[in-house]
Amino acid sequence: MEKTGRIEIRVIGNEGNNPLTPDNYDIREIKTMLENIEDILYPGNKKSRPDITYQIEQGSVKNIFKTSLQAVVSFAAVVSMINNSGSIDGLELPTAKAIENIQSVARTKNYSFELKTSEAEDIILNITPQTNYQRSANLWVDAELYFYGELTNAGGKNKANIHLNTKEAGTIIIDTDKEFLKNEQENLLYKEYGVRVVGKQNIETREIDNSYLKLVELIDYNPKYDESYLNGLIAKASPKFKGIDADVWLQEMRGVYNYE
């Protein structure tokens, strides 16, 4: 049986004139907390993550999460890193956004949060209305990006988008114009495509913010090996390499020179 650990997120504040307790802690706050904890513990692919169990306790409000010990140990390291640096810039994007969300709740509701783990109970991350855990905006720049995968959904009542299932990033949602989808003559679903999009990328880590991607171009994509196409390219390029020693050319391209 896999070993488990525990994460505690304590919320201190007031609901109206009354101190915050499990009896007056609104279900919307619980929903937000549950959404954030998954990104804190498992910022990558969530499909195969271990179970996360939840319970609420007195004092003022203690949100208790139990999951794999490895994830809890990793989060203890995250708490220590944030405390030491005073910044969330080095975190994986989903985790950084989750911390930002908690910071936002602290300010709007005038709550204080205390985050700690069973593996390092003396290391506590305090998020209050006075703290400022936000990503540095100057690290995120506009970028043109390419993804490849199967288009699994397209449309939307208010905001049009497409869903592309990729091997590298899972399913990503890409905003598009309604007119683009409206004017397509053929069915797009369940076919392989490349997409050219614009979005935000971290200039230090090269991480991509998948929360907002805008479609620039949909590209027909056939990943299968096409021997006739390859032979055609070789035939087209062959005259340009006539009289060139392939071994010498390859050595020069690699930076290997013979000075004899």
pLDDT at position 235 is 76
pLDDT at position 112 is 98
pLDDT at position 254 is 65
pLDDT at position 148 is 93
Which residues in the chain show pLDDT less than 70?
A: 1, 222-226, 229-230, 240-241, 249-260
Euclidean distance between CA atoms 163 and 209, whole angstroms: 15
> Quick one: tokens of 137?
């905006």
pLDDT at position 85 is 94
pLDDT tens string 65-79: 999 999 999 999 999
Domains of the chain: 4-135 (3.30.70), 138-260 (2.40.50.140)
Closest Cα to residue 115, out of 198, 249, 9? 9
Name the 3-class secondary structure at 142.
Answer: strand
Q: Pick left, alpha or beta for residue 86 (phi over 0 → left; psi -120 to 50 → alpha; otherwise beta).
A: left
pLDDT at position 168 is 82
pLDDT at position 1 is 59
pLDDT at position 67 is 96
